[in-house]
Amino acid sequence: MSKIILITGSNTGIGLEVVKALAGASKPYTILMGGRSPQKVQNAISTVQTKLPSTASTFVPITVDIESDKSIEQAFAEVQSKYGKVDVLINNAGAQFDQEHATSTLSTREIWNKTWNVNTTGTHILTSTFAPLLLQSIDPRLLFLTSGTSTLAGTENTAIPVNKVPPKGWPKTGFNVPAYRSSKTGLNMVMREWHRWLKEDGVKVFALSPGYLATGLGGDPEVSRTFGAQDPAVAGPFVRSVVEGERDGDVGLVLTREGVQAW
């Protein structure tokens, strides 16, 4: 039986690149493609099948909104009924709302609450809900997609735009994503807690930091490219390598494509 892999936020960006990478493997996977919009997920499935017509993997749309407990519970019931287990849970769904402060779309409190609700709280609740299905696997893996901006040690590197020190005075301007990066730092601790909780159950837990990529997260991907963002396709093989056991020596850590990210 093929491994069951559930990926949240799978219809675009890094999530879709992970699906493509897994679909390109020689071994078959049953890929449960989670997303808020059934139509967008179905469109993504069609895209992958067109790009990789000879894939041995199977794609199954799963409607799930990690901001909704009801949606998470419904997704769990569907997966439990059909498969009875999950071999790999990839918590990829995430969002950035800091830029909406400039447009006054959301208040500062709304930006922070919504950011943490998606990136940290919602991810934790989905993991809590699906944990019993992970424990039914003989080789369970739990992955969290974090960010290079989440490292505390890395904040000393002022060559990175998010770490540049602005001139004195108020208001401050420049590239500033405090809600997003703090939520991902929080997610790193969530990963560590799950590593601790599930260690005796044999679940291999990781956080993955794929690098600064030109996705739609927080705005126009082409603008991100002008700041040095790479193609999101590089994330696919990286995540697949962790799924397939190539980084098992670094379990419980934040992995980058080159090594281990400092806390």
Active site residues: 147, 180, 184
Residue 84 φ/ψ region, left for φ over 0, alpha for ψ in the -120 to 50 degree band, beta for the rest: left
CA distance linking residue 44 with residue 40, whole number of Å: 6
Q: Say how far apart CA 144 and CA 153 lie, in whole Å.
A: 20
Q: How far is C-alpha 133 from the geometric centre of its chain's CA atoms? A: 19
Residues 128 and 2: their CA atoms lie apart, in Å, by 24
3-state SS assignment for residue 263 = coil
C-alpha–C-alpha distance, residues 175 and 160, integer Å? 10
Strands of 3-7's sheet in order across = 58-63, 29-35, 3-7, 88-91, 141-145, 204-208, 254-255
Which pair of structure tokens corresponds to residue 234?
């590089």
Whether the Cβ atoms of residue 60 and residue 30 lie closer than 8 Å to each other: yes
